[in-house]
């Protein structure tokens, strides 16, 4: 912190002659009335690795903010009436709020059940279908990318539209032999944009396209692309549970927290009431 001396040298000289009481053994760098900021207070405000120029700037800004804050505080003290300066109740309310909040936090950390099962996620999802909406189209689809040199192109093109289990299994084997990509995304919902980004095709209006097309066929220099859209949901529809699993987990935990806090408050109240530690005086 040697470069701090560049900033504080003139203040050290000035305050060394000041008659007002200062903390023994400390070097003042700023004063507002009887409040002092010391060089020793500045040692932790500059992070390691900062250049001397940036360090000086950070220290100067800190001193400026401290002076302005103290000046405003002193002005408030001089201009407010005595009753306006009495903040004892606000401080007590704030202290009470902090203590209660900290105790509740510790209590929840020790008692909150954070394990969430798939069954609980499904139950929550089914109980709140109106809450979960998708913000863009989603699909259940089959995606195939196959080399143009593959001898199985015609068979693949014929079978990728089939829903028969035997055809689907044969299709998967053919794609593996043809050094192709085959992905049914585990028959789960995916965003349509995440699918078509892999295909050399332009779709300006996804919703209109999904309403009128079940299949996509495209090609580039080396590959053919085939997509079979088995199901779709448009923007604003109920979101598939896969998309909102994280949101559901948060909702379940929040409900558990609220229940836990209610039980804590009621138990404390009832126990103190039973022990005559609480009295309602009319």
Question: Which tens digits make up the pLDDT trace of 182-218?
Answer: 999 999 999 999 999 989 999 999 999 999 999 999 9
Answer yes or no: are the C-beta atoms of 224 and 148 closer than 8 Å. Answer: yes
Same domain (yes/no): 10, 59: yes
For residues 4 and 52, is the Cβ–Cβ distance under 8 A? Answer: no
Instruction: Kindly state the helix (H) or strand (E) to which residue 226 belongs, with its residue range.
Output: strand 223-233
Tally of domains within the chain: 3
Domain that holds residue 211: 138-233
> pLDDT-based confidence at 176, cuts 50/70/90?
confident
Which candidate, 27, 33, 36, places its Cα nearest to that of 8? 27
User: Between vectors from CA 281 to CA 275 and to CA 282, what angle results, nearest 5°?
Assistant: 145
Same domain (yes/no): 153, 216: yes
Residues 173 and 259 in one domain: no
Q: Are residues 246 and 122 in the same domain?
A: yes
Q: How many CB atoms lie within 10 A of CB 146?
A: 23
Residues 209 and 166 in one domain: yes
pLDDT tens, residue by residue, 106-137: 999 999 999 999 999 999 999 988 889 999 99
- State whether 21 and 96 are in the same domain: no
Considering the domain architecture, whether residues 221 and 281 belong to the same structural domain is answered as no
Last residue of a domain, one of 41, 58, 79: 79
Query: Same structural domain for residues 171 and 227?
Result: yes
75-97 residue pLDDT tens: 999 999 988 989 999 999 999 99
Residue 225 and residue 167 share a domain: yes
Q: Does 75 lie in the same domain as 93?
A: no
Last residue of some domain: 79, 108, 123? 79
Give the list of residues 6+ apart from residue 161 with CB closer than 8 angstroms, or none: 215, 228
- Run of H or E residues at 9: helix 4-16
Compute φ and ψ for 273, nearest 5 degrees.
-65, -45
């Amino acid at each position: 912190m040697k470069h701090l001396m560049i900033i504080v040298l003139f203040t050290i000289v000035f305050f060394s002659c000041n008659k007002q009481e200062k903390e023994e053994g400390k070097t003042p760098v700023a004063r507002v009335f009887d409040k002092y900021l010391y060089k020793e207070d500045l040692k932790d405000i500059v992070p390691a690795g900062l250049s001397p120029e940036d360090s000086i700037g950070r220290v100067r800004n800190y001193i400026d903010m401290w002076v302005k804050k103290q000046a405003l505080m002193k002005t408030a003290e001089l201009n407010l009436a005595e009753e306006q300066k009495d903040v004892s109740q606000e401080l007590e309310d704030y202290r009470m709020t902090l203590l209660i909040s900290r105790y509740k936090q510790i209590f929840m950390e020790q008692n909150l059940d954070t394990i969430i099962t798939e069954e609980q996620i499904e139950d929550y999802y089914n109980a709140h279908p109106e809450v979960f909406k998708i913000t863009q189209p989603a699909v259940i689809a089959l995606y195939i990318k196959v080399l143009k040199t593959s001898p199985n192109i015609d068979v693949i093109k014929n079978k990728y539209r089939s829903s028969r289990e035997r055809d689907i299994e044969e299709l998967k084997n053919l794609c593996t032999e043809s050094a192709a990509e085959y992905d049914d995304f585990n028959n789960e919902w995916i965003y349509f944009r995440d699918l078509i980004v892999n295909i050399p095709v332009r779709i300006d209006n996804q919703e209109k396209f999904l309403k009128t097309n079940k299949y996509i066929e495209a090609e580039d220099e080396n590959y053919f692309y085939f997509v079979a859209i088995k199901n779709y949901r448009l923007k604003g529809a109920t979101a598939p549970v896969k998309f909102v699993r994280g949101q559901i987990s948060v909702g379940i935990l929040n409900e558990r927290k609220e229940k836990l806090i209610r039980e804590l408050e009621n138990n404390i109240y009832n126990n103190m009431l039973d022990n005559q530690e609480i009295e309602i005086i009319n």
